[in-house]
Amino acid sequence: MRGLIRKIKKSRLLGMSGSSFPVWLKWKKVKGSKAKIKYVVCNGAEGELKTQKDYYILKHYPKDVIFGIKLALETVGAKTGFLYLNKKYYRKLKPKLIKLTHHLPIELFEKPEGYLNGEETVICNIIETKAKEPRVKPPLPAEAGVFGKPTLINNLETFYWVSKIAKNQYNYERFYSIAGKVKQKGVYKLPFDFTIRDILTITGNRPWFDFFVQVGGGASGEILLPNELDRPITSLGSIIVY
C-alpha cells in the first residue's frame, strides 16, 4: 500500500511492546535499507505474567493481524515473515493460523519456554537456531536482525493497529489487559490516553480496598500506589491489581 508509512506517522502509533518507540521510524529504517533480503517478525511471545492481550487479539482478530504482517512485508520489501508465538497460543491457534497464512510467505514459529525468549535479539537467534541469548546492540535488528539482514520486529498488537490504519479505522486506541484482585478481569479496548484510574473505573475494576497496581506486566512492570494512577500507560498495556 502506497503511503502507509506516512499514514502510520500521522496516526502517532507507538510500539506496543513497552518501548513506546514510534512505529513509522522503524518501518522507514527497514524500508530504506538497500539489502536484497529483509525479514518481518511479529512478536507474540507475551511472556509477562498475567498478561493476555496478544492472545485475545489473535483469537478474535487473526485476519487483521495477518493483514498487518502482509502490509509490512509489502511496504518494507521483505519476502519472508515470521509469526513468533507463545507456546500456549501457538498450540491453541495453530490450525486457524495455518489456514490464514498458507498462501502467504509467513512462517509460524513456536517460542521456547523462558521469559528472555521474547526479547527481540533473542528471537533472531532462535529463528536462526542459535543460542537463546541476547545480542549486543547496536546493531539493532532493523539494521542486522535475522541472519544478519534488516528485520522489522513489532509486537503483535502493533500489526493489528497497522491493519486498522490502512483501512482508516484507527481511533487512537489500544488494548489493556486487566488482572489480579478485580471483578471484571479481561482485555479491553480503550483510548490510548486514558489514565490508569480511568481504565479501572470505566471497566468496573476500581478497588474499594487498600491496593496497589503493577503496570507493564507481572515480571518487570512498575509498582504504583493509588495516588499515582492519574497518568496514562506508556509501557505494555497490562494492569494487575493487588
What are 41-97's pLDDT values in tens digits? 999 999 888 889 999 999 999 999 999 999 999 999 999 999 999 999 999 999 999
pLDDT higher than 90, residue 115: no
- Looking up cell 479491553, which residue turns up? 188
Does the structure show a pLDDT above 80 at 17?
no
| pLDDT tens figures, 188-202 | 999 999 999 999 999
Which residues contact residue 189 at a Cβ distance below 8 angstroms, ignoring those fewer than 6 apart? 173, 174, 175, 176
What topology is assigned to 4-166 in CATH? Rossmann fold (3.40.50)
This prediction's pTM: 0.95
What's the CATH architecture for 173-241?
A: Roll (3.10)
Confidence of residue 2 (pLDDT cuts 50, 70, 90): confident
3-state secondary structure of 187: strand
Q: What is the reported pLDDT for 50?
A: 87
What's the rounded mean pLDDT across residues 4-30?
92
Tell me what the mean pLDDT of segment 91-106 comes to.
97
Digit-coded pLDDT (tens) for 130-166 = 999 999 999 999 999 999 999 999 999 999 999 999 9
Q: How far apart are CA 239 and CA 242, in angstroms?
A: 10
Banded model confidence at residue 10, pLDDT cuts 50, 70, 90: very high
Q: What is the pLDDT of residue 1?
A: 75
pLDDT at 212: 94
Cα 228 → chain centroid: 25
Task: Specify the residue for cell string 495455518.
Answer: 98
> Which residue ranges make up each domain of the chain?
4-166, 173-241
Q: Could you give the C-alpha distances from 132 to 65, 116, 169, in angstroms and in order?
A: 26, 8, 38
- Reported as half-sphere exposure (CB side, CA atoms, 13 A), residue 145 has a value of 30
DSSP symbol at 111: P
pLDDT tens figures, 229-241: 999 987 789 999 9
